[in-house]
């Protein structure tokens, strides 16, 4: 006969059993922020002109589209899905903006239409994933080629570059007295909105539940299909907005704008601590990941490194982020299993 001789210990989540400082500082996100600060410090000390305000301006201008699109991409990957078509949607929105202006539309009208086209592209992805039931990887590989083909087909090999100077100057304008581009204000507003949505609302918590186990989430009353559908719509909408900004920044609407950018976006999201398997991630880590890749690329270009080598390093970062996340998950599972075995052998019962 077994009798309990001690009061049972209260059940707690393993992560919350740690002190607050450890939960804040000893995390993957904190390590990426630390690595970003280290790269900035080394670059400022060793790379000529890296610490100039002009470098900061160009760095933020170039990374702004990636920062924008990484916000909804984070939510999508947390649900264990992916959207590889975002750069193609950006290119399509760029072409729509250019064709609208060429047709005589006021630029604000062309911009709104381009963003709506991005939302429609996202809705197509969402419907194929949630209604038809196709895997998002296969769907967005297909729509990556589809949307890019439409963009190139609409404009051919030509480019449109006669946009109103008022708008192109606005895309290149800095916040007065700082080297920070005005577009960062739009990013900050969106980032705040996505952070509140993900971390402080029931909808955001449901996304983590979907990523951990979509069947269990569905049984708990979460509408998995509808949640994922609207995430893809968000992704397409933000990619459309990024396409408008990209067009005005470079004063150039082309069907091949931003080719390959999806690699940088996904690399930054995974590097920032979002699990490719879903159920884990935070926006501050993703923002740090985007800035880390952008800062590293900027420093290497100023040091004379070719773009091919930078692309290789970006790919290596993507592989390392996935491998390290899997390794950390394996170590965590082993620690939890070992803790469970120790508790099972603890002197809490007697025969």
Over residues 23-37, the pLDDT tens digits come to: 555 678 888 899 899
Which of the four pLDDT bands, split at 50, 70 and 90, describes residue 238?
Answer: very high
Cβ 63 vs Cβ 186: under 8 Å:
no
Taking the model in full, what pTM does it have?
A: 0.87
Kindly report the average pLDDT of the chain as a whole number.
Answer: 88
| Residue whose token pair is 């060793």 | 46
pLDDT at 320: 75
In sequence order, the β-bridge partners of residue 229 are none
| Residue whose token pair is 């709104």 | 112
Is the pLDDT confidence value at 349 over 80? no
Lowest mean pLDDT among 39-48, 180-189, 302-311: 302-311
Which of the four pLDDT bands, split at 50, 70 and 90, describes residue 166?
Answer: very high
φ/ψ bin of 279: left (φ > 0), alpha (ψ from -120 to 50), beta (otherwise): left
| Residue whose token pair is 């590989």 | 141
pLDDT at 328: 66
| CATH class entry, domain 26-305 | mainly alpha
Considering only CA atoms, which of 243, 224, 259, 293 is closest in space to residue 81?
224
Which of the four pLDDT bands, split at 50, 70 and 90, describes residue 290?
Answer: very high
Rounded to whole angstroms, the Cα distance separating 72 from 76 reads: 6
310 vs 213, higher pLDDT? 213
Summarize the confidence of residues 291-311 as an average pLDDT.
89
| Highest mean pLDDT pick, 2-16, 39-53, 120-134 | 120-134
Which of the four pLDDT bands, split at 50, 70 and 90, describes residue 12?
Answer: very low
Decide: helix, strand or coil at residue 179: coil
pLDDT at 351: 43
Q: State phi, psi for 256 to the nearest 5 degrees.
A: -100, 15
In sequence order, the β-bridge partners of residue 4 are 349
Helix pair angle (53-78, 202-212), 10° resolution: 70
Exposed/middle/buried for 301, CB within 10 Å: 0-12, 13-18, 19+? middle
pLDDT at 318: 73
Helix pair angle (283-302, 53-78), 10° resolution: 140
Which of the four pLDDT bands, split at 50, 70 and 90, describes residue 42?
Answer: very high
81 vs 312, higher pLDDT? 81
Q: Give the side-chain half-sphere CA count within 13 A for 113.
A: 15
Which of the four pLDDT bands, split at 50, 70 and 90, describes residue 235?
Answer: very high
Exposed/middle/buried for 74, CB within 10 Å: 0-12, 13-18, 19+? buried
């Amino acid at each position: 006969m077994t009798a309990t001789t001690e009061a049972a210990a209260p059940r707690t989540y393993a992560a919350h059993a740690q002190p607050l400082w450890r939960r804040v500082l000893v995390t993957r996100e904190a390590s990426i922020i630390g690595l970003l600060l280290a790269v900035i410090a080394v670059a400022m000390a060793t790379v000529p002109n890296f610490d100039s305000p002009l470098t900061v301006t160009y760095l933020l201008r170039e990374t702004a589209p990636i920062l924008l699109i990484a916000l909804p991409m984070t939510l999508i990957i947390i649900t264990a899905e992916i959207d590889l078509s975002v750069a193609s949607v950006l290119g399509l929105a760029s072409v729509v903006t250019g064709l609208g202006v060429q047709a005589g539309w006021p630029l604000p009208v062309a911009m709104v239409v381009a963003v709506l086209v991005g939302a429609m592209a996202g809705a197509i992805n969402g419907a194929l994933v949630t209604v038809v039931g196709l895997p998002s990887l296969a769907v967005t590989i297909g729509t990556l080629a589809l949307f890019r083909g439409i963009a190139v087909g609409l404009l051919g090999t030509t480019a449109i570059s006669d946009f109103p100077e008022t708008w192109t100057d606005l895309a290149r304008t800095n916040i007065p007295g700082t080297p920070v581009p005005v577009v960062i204000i739009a990013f900050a507003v969106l980032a705040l909105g996505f952070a509140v949505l993900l971390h402080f609302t029931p909808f955001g918590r449901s996304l983590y539940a979907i990523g951990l186990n979509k069947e269990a989430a569905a049984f708990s009353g979460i509408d998995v299909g509808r949640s994922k559908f609207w995430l893809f719509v968000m992704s397409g909408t933000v990619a459309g907005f990024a396409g408008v900004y990209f067009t005005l920044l470079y004063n150039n609407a082309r069907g091949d704008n931003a080719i390959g950018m999806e690699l940088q976006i996904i690399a930054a999201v995974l590097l920032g601590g979002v699990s490719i398997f879903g159920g884990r991630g935070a926006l501050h880590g993703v923002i740090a990941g985007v800035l880390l890749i952008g800062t590293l690329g900027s420093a290497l270009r100023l040091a004379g490194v070719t773009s091919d080598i930078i692309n290789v390093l970006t790919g290596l970062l993507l592989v390392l982020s996935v491998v390290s996340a899997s390794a950390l998950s394996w170590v965590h599972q082993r620690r939890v299993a070992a803790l469970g075995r120790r508790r099972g052998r603890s002197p809490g019962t007697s025969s």
